Structures are given as C-alpha cells and as structure tokens.
Amino acid sequence: MSGTRLRIGCSKLVSGIFLAAPLALASPALSQEQPQTPASEVNTQPTPQNAGQKQSTDISTLIKDDNQWPMAAKNYANTRFSQLNQITKDNVGQLQMAWSFSLGTPRGQEAAPLVVNGTLYIVGPYAGVHPNEVFALDIADGELKWSYSPKPDPAAEGVACCDVVTRGLAYDNGKIFLNTLDGFSVAIDANTGKELWHTKLGDINKGETITMAPIVVKGKVLVGNSGGEMGVRGWLTAVDEETGKIAWRAYSTGPDSEVLIGEDYHGPYDWLNGKDLGVKSWPPDKWKIGGGTVWGWISYDPDLNLIYYGTSNPGAWNHEQRPGDNLFGSTIFARNPDTGMAKWAYQPDPHDLWDHDEINESVLVDLTIDNQVRKVLIHPDRDGFMYVIDRTTGKVISADAYDYVNSIKSIDLNTGRPVLNDAMTPSLGKTVRDVCPAAPGAKDWQPSAWSPKTKLLYVPHQHLCMDFKTSDVGYIEGTPYVGADVDMYAGPGGYRGEFMAWDPVQRKKVWSIKEKFPVWSGALVTAGNVAFYGTMDRWFKAVDADSGKELWKFRVGSGIIGQPITFAGADGTQYVAVMSGVGGWSGAVAVGEIDPRVRNGALGFTGAMQDLPASTVGGATLAVFALPKNQKKAASAD
C-alpha cells in the first residue's frame, strides 16, 4: 500500500486557447484606475442632461461613468468610490427607501448589485427553490425585467465551507457573467436574460465550489475556485467572454509550468525566487491538496497590464501536516491578464498557522510617500496588518497592525516575513488560548473603500480572538481537510466589529466606530463625503467620511453582509442600494442548521456569534434609497 492515493485532476492544465482581446479600449486615459484623478477630468457629474445618454457596453468605459456601478468593486482599482455628490453629509439624514426587492432566499447575501445602463442586476445565494438566481430590475421603479435560474446540483451545499454565498456578478459587452456554487461559469444576455454559454470549471466531488465575483479584463472572465477547507488545489481561470472557452488556468501550487511562472517572474525577496517553489515548499505531494484557492477580489492596473489577487490559506489548518512555506498559499499574485503569467508573488504569511487567507482586496492607488509618488496596492490583511506594497515589484513599503494582534510581533521589511510570537505556535492536541486575531483574521473578504478626496481607506472588519487546538486529519476527497477545533470570541474590550478610516501614508487609524458584531458588509464612499456600511444587527449606516460621525441609519429586514453601491437614474437621482440578508461564515449560526450552544460549530465562528439569532434571521432583500424630491432639487441647485 503506497499510503497515499490521490485522485486529483491536477495534470489537466488546459492548453492555452488564447484569444486576442476583442475590445478596443475606448481611451488610454485612466480615470477610476487612478482614484486620485480630479473629478473634473472624469466628467461624470450626474445631471439630467447627460445621465442615461451613455450607452456604452464596454466595461473599461463603464467604470469611468459614475452613473453606473458596473462591477462589484466599482472599478478596476477596487476603490468603491463614486463621484456622485447629490447625497452629501448635510442631506444624507433625509434618505428614504425608494423601492425594495426580495430575492426569496434565507441564506447569506454577500453579493454586490451591478447597475448598467438603467438596469440593476443581482444574484442570490445558493439556496431556496432557485439557487443562484439572477434578477434584472429597472432602477427607476424596481420593475422586474427578467430572472435566470441556473440548473443546480444541490449537493454543492455539502462542500461549501462557510454558508452558500456568492459575492456577485460581472458585466461586459452586453453580457452578465455568473458563477454558480456548483462550479459553473455562465454568460447571460443582459437585455433578455437568455443563457449564452455555460462552462464547467470546478468539481464538487473534489470539494471545489465558486463563490467569488468574477471580473472581466480585456474580454476574459476571471474566475477562481473556493474550497481551502476541502483540500482543493487553488486556481484562477480565464474564460473567453464570447465563447466560454478556457483561455488559461493558473494554479496556486505545483510546478512553475502550472503556476504559470516563467521568465517574466521576479519575486520581491530572495526566498520567493527559485524553481518550482510551489512543489518544493511542501512535503511530497501535499501541494496537490494544498489549498491556495482564489475566492476574493481581483484588481487590475491597465497601465502596468497586471491583475492582482490573493490566494487562500494552505490546507490543512493543522500546520504540522505541511512543513515548509507552502507556496503559493496565502499569497498575493501579480499576473499578466493576457497570458496568466506571473510577474511577482508575495506571501505575507509563509506557512500559515491560523487560516489566514490573503484573498482580501488589494486597492490600487498612487500615494506620495517620502516625497515620491508610488504605485501601491493597499492590502488590509487577515493577519491584522495593513500592507502597503509597491505594485510594480511586490515589495512591502509598510505594514502596520490595524487591530489587536498578538500572534505576530511585527513585519520585517527587509525580508517581507512576519516576526511570529512563537509561544503561540500550535502543536498537536494542545489548546492555544487567546490567539488574536482569530481564524477569519482582523478582516475577511468584506471589501474596503478608498476616497481620493479624503485619502483614507474605509475598512469594515472584525475584532475577535480564539482558542485553537489542532488534530491530525486524513484527506478524504470531497470532504473537509481542516484538523483543528476552533472557538472564537470577542476581542479585548468585548466588542466584535469595527468600521474605521485608515491613513496609509501616516500609517494610522484616523477614526473608528465599534460595533457589537463583526462588520461583515462592504464599504462605500462618495464625493459627498459620506461613507456607508451595514451591520449584522440590521442597521444600514451613513457616516461622515472625515470624522466618522453617524449621520443616518435605517433598520432593514435582516443583518447586512452585502456590498453597498451608489448609482444615478436617467433623471439624475442618486440612489444608494444595499442587500440585506444575514449569513456568511460569521452569520451562519443565524441561518444554517447550527446550534448556538455548541461553540465549536461553523469552524469555531459559532462561539463568537451565538447571540446573533437574537438580533436577526435570514432573508435576502434589496433596499434602494434616495433623497425625497424636494431635497434632490435643493442638492441639484447647489
């Protein structure tokens, strides 16, 4: 008996069916990709005269039009900032609900709505009668234009680690792109709702699911897999938007030929250079079940022609089963979107001890640091540190703790490696107590927003610590591969979440709002200097982007873990929209068949959220807000 029998389709590296980008870029000039660009150069102020006139279907044009919200993160830089300024900090207190829409599902609603040319598109979680159903609604009055239900495999629920969420859709060229939990990528005609193609990308029998919002870059739909808790081998796949054919697939682990590391690659530190590190940094063959899945955010710099994304934790959670750095799990990649070839890779947490995925957003901004303009990405990491990284090279410029951290002492800027608190390193069967941050980190997938006006990053995050006890786990294909009993609880001070503004140049927190529960919603910030976020105990809040002062709040039907957006109608009305519908990993105890009295449930998140069911139950509903008519007139006259 060899002792290890694996059935993994790792050898099926799809040969490159490379198609030239079909889209001519409308303009080489950047706008939202460089959030510091003054508004006057963007010329997207919403007025009745120009609103609705632009009917471009090209994503690279749409992201420059603030009447639209054409991708989950608003733009390629992932700023979630809008130049719309009808709603200001002076009048936001007058916001009223304009219309709402129920998705008819009781599970976690993390997806962002998209708004393109007068239509709002939203997708529900993998639950209810029609899992991952897509809806198209008229933004003016919420009229339902069409809906589309993919053909589901209900068994997918059994291999989804952390509720059955999706983080949203993508749009380009008249098409809506959907990822289903059971591993398909689908293109739908944005006008009619008719299916154009569907492609199977993942296999639930290997534990693969898809939860991320795809993005479209130069005619390719970029899709990654989920399943870092299932011994899945992570990948990012580019699918041709016209045909549904796979153009390239970049694995996160394995030989360079499959990780797509070639001559263009240059690691930012010595230890990130070498042949086949995705094999050599693992015990024999463990890279085949090593995680590094791609379920978070992708940003894109058209100037450098690089996409940026992070990979999940290496598996299993029991680190003693995988000695080595475990590349390229918990890694930030920069890749060429045409070929998939890597430019650089940086692993903030080598040999991850705590389930610290690096899938969190990388927000692309240009900052003046020490009198030099630097092209950076800001990455609020699971490990509790705010990384400012040179996005041309992958070198860390600064890394500072933004929440209470006791598992890492500091980040060594010479090596790029963390200085660990060795006293906390788990060993088999021993309970380590009071580890901060907990497994979901100081911040998980919930995306930040960046305002070029305030030059602050608005960060929704959690404040949790945990007990952590590892156990030996065997790999059984299609079942979890974790090997840890976890129990999370509130961090120091007893609160569990925070919404804060961070100055990445001064490297400090400017203001913060403490919340009872983790802030598991995305953030939005506008030129009206208003920042929006939602809470798990059902408040949708608007705060002063300068001071954090609460300006307005509205009690919605269920806890908010969705992503707020803003857009404008044909009459110039500015809307703000958010999905309520509690769930996700943090909210699973309120919507899943999970016992709040057994703390180790939901990979330990039950412990921290056991009282959530006393504040909310599930139920996905879109809420759309606007100013009353007389307020809008006053704002327009300004």
CB–CB of 147/129 below 8 Å?
no
Counting contacts by CB under 8 A, is residue 474 touching other proteins? yes
Q: Which residues pair with 123 in a beta bridge?
A: 134
Counting contacts by CB under 8 A, is residue 154 touching other proteins? yes
Q: Which residues, at least 6 apart from 446, have a Cβ–Cβ distance to it below 8 Å?
A: 460, 461, 519, 520, 521, 522, 523, 561
Catalytic residue among 78, 85, 132, 313: 313
As measured in angstroms, the least distance from the Cβ of 564 to other proteins is 25
Q: Which residues, at least 6 apart from 111, have a Cβ–Cβ distance to it below 8 Å?
A: 72, 122, 123, 124, 125, 165, 166, 167, 168, 169, 213, 562, 563, 579
Which residue's CB is nearer to other proteins, number 159 or number 260?
A: 159
As measured in angstroms, the least distance from the Cβ of 44 to other proteins is 43
In the three-class reduction of DSSP (H, G, I as helix; E, B as strand; rest coil), residue 182 is classed as coil
Which residue's CB is nearer to other proteins, number 507 or number 516?
A: 516
Counting contacts by CB under 8 A, is residue 584 touching other proteins? no
Q: Which residues, at least 6 apart from 162, have a Cβ–Cβ distance to it below 8 Å?
A: 229, 584, 585, 588, 602, 603, 605
Query: Segment near other proteins (CB under 8 A), from 1-9, 96-104, 393-401, 527-535?
Result: 1-9
Binding other proteins (rule: CB under 8 A), the pick from 33, 110, 133, 157 is 157
Which residue's CB is nearer to other proteins, number 190 or number 609?
A: 609
Binding other proteins (rule: CB under 8 A), the pick from 141, 303, 571, 595 is 595
Catalytic residue among 355, 467, 487, 537: 355
Which residue's CB is nearer to other proteins, number 79 or number 209?
A: 209
Residue 448 has, within 13 A of its CA and on its CB side, a CA count of: 36
The yes-or-no answer on residue 355 being catalytic is: yes
Q: Give the amino acid at 35.
A: P
In angstroms, the CA 296 to CA 226 distance is: 9
Q: Which residues pair with 185 in a beta bridge?
A: 179, 199
Binding other proteins (rule: CB under 8 A), the pick from 92, 160, 436, 577 is 160
Query: Segment near other proteins (CB under 8 A), from 39-47, 54-62, 282-290, 440-448?
Result: 282-290
Within 10 angstroms of residue 333's Cβ, the number of other Cβ atoms is 30
Catalytic residue among 65, 66, 157, 229: 229
As measured in angstroms, the least distance from the Cβ of 469 to other proteins is 4
CB–CB of 267/394 below 8 Å?
yes
> Which residue bears the tokens 């100037």?
303
Binding other proteins (rule: CB under 8 A), the pick from 458, 489, 520, 532 is 489
What are the C-alpha distances in Å from 360 to residues 379, 459, 516?
A: 7, 11, 22
Binding string to other proteins for residues 419 to 438, with x set by CB under 8 A, is what?
----------x-x--x----
CB–CB of 92/192 below 8 Å?
no
Query: Segment near other proteins (CB under 8 A), from 97-105, 235-243, 435-443, 468-476?
Result: 468-476
As measured in angstroms, the least distance from the Cβ of 489 to other proteins is 4
Binding string to other proteins for residues 297 to 326, with x set by CB under 8 A, is what?
-------------------x----x-----
In 3D space, the residue among 138, 209, 170, 214 whose CA is nearest the CA of residue 71 turns out to be: 170
Query: Segment near other proteins (CB under 8 A), from 32-40, 134-142, 170-178, 464-472?
Result: 464-472
The yes-or-no answer on residue 611 being catalytic is: no
Q: Which of positions 92-131 make contact with other proteins (CB under 8 A)?
A: none
Structure tokens at 39: 């508004």
In angstroms, the CA 498 to CA 521 distance is: 11
In angstroms, the CA 287 to CA 301 distance is: 30
Q: Which of positions 178-217 make contact with other proteins (CB under 8 A)?
A: 205
In angstroms, the CA 129 to CA 323 distance is: 44
Q: Which residues, at least 6 apart from 638, have a Cβ–Cβ distance to it below 8 Å?
A: none
Binding other proteins (rule: CB under 8 A), the pick from 142, 174, 548, 596 is 596
Counting contacts by CB under 8 A, is residue 588 touching other proteins? yes
Which residue's CB is nearer to other proteins, number 492 or number 628?
A: 492
The yes-or-no answer on residue 229 being catalytic is: yes
DSSP strand pairing (81-82 vs 524-526): parallel
Q: Which of positions 3-32 make contact with other proteins (CB under 8 A)?
A: 3-7
- Sheet holding 175-179: strands in order across? 170-172, 175-179, 184-189, 195-200
Q: Which of positions 597-616 make contact with other proteins (CB under 8 A)?
A: 597-603, 606-614
Counting contacts by CB under 8 A, is residue 461 touching other proteins? no
Which residues make up the interface to other proteins (CB under 8 A)? 1-7, 154-161, 205, 229, 283-284, 289, 316, 321, 429, 431, 434, 465, 467-469, 471-482, 485, 487, 489-490, 494, 496, 517, 588, 592-603, 606-614
- The residues carrying an active-site annotation are 229, 313, 355
